[in-house]
């Protein structure tokens, strides 16, 4: 094959990879933004007592997690396709930088990658915050249930093992 023909085939391969990356990043940005909005809504719901609405938010959250997992798989497929076309890289950013070095216009996609990374950080922070709130709420409700189960008496905890049942909440048993 003539060198100019080989360059043409390589440029077409690069354009195909870039189109795949563009579609992935656009879908990722759209999905992340919608997920971020859902997490903000969920944060507001954590402050209110509407359990039915919270269940709906959790259901929607699970759908976003599935969508993001699918996009992660698509990313892996694009990277594998790029390797087959001779553009080896372990990340989309690295792949775009490599394509840029070969003369492809990738600035808009690199900007989109940076934006998606920023939204991913926000999603991670909100998710951790909500997890912490849920863990603390669970511990609080566990304490309340223990108080109810023990008729308002909290067992003294002098050991680091399991709590011992109490009678009257006193250190010394009156019948001893």
The domain that contains 34 carries what CATH number? 1.20.58
Number of domains making up the chain: 1
DSSP H or E run through 43: helix 3-46
Q: Give the pLDDT mean for 164-169.
A: 52
Domain membership of residue 113 (yes or no) is yes
Instruction: Indicate the pTM of the whole model.
Output: 0.71
pLDDT in tens, 84-116: 998 888 899 999 999 998 888 999 999 999 999
Return d(Cα 44, Cα 62) in angstroms, integer. 18
Answer yes or no: are the C-beta atoms of 153 and 168 closer than 8 Å: yes
More confident residue, 80 or 154: 80
Query: Domain of 129?
Result: 3-149
Domain membership of residue 171 (yes or no) is no
């Amino acid at each position: 094959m003539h060198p100019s023909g080989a360059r043409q085939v390589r440029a077409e391969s690069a354009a195909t990879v870039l189109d795949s990356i563009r579609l992935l990043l656009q879908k990722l940005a759209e999905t992340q933004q919608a997920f971020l909005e859902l997490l903000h809504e969920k944060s507001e719901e954590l402050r209110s007592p509407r359990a039915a609405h919270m269940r709906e938010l959790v259901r929607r959250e699970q759908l976003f997690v599935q969508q993001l997992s699918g996009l992660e798989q698509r990313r892996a497929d694009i990277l594998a396709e790029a390797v087959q076309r001779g553009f080896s890289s372990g990340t989309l950013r690295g792949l775009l930088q490599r394509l840029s070095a070969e003369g492809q216009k990738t600035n808009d996609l690199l900007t989109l990658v940076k934006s998606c990374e920023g939204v991913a950080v926000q999603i991670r922070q909100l998710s951790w915050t909500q997890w912490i709130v849920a863990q603390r709420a669970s511990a609080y409700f566990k304490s309340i249930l223990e108080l109810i189960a023990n008729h308002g008496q909290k067992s003294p905890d002098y050991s680091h093992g399991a709590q011992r049942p109490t009678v009257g909440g006193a250190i010394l048993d009156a019948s001893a």
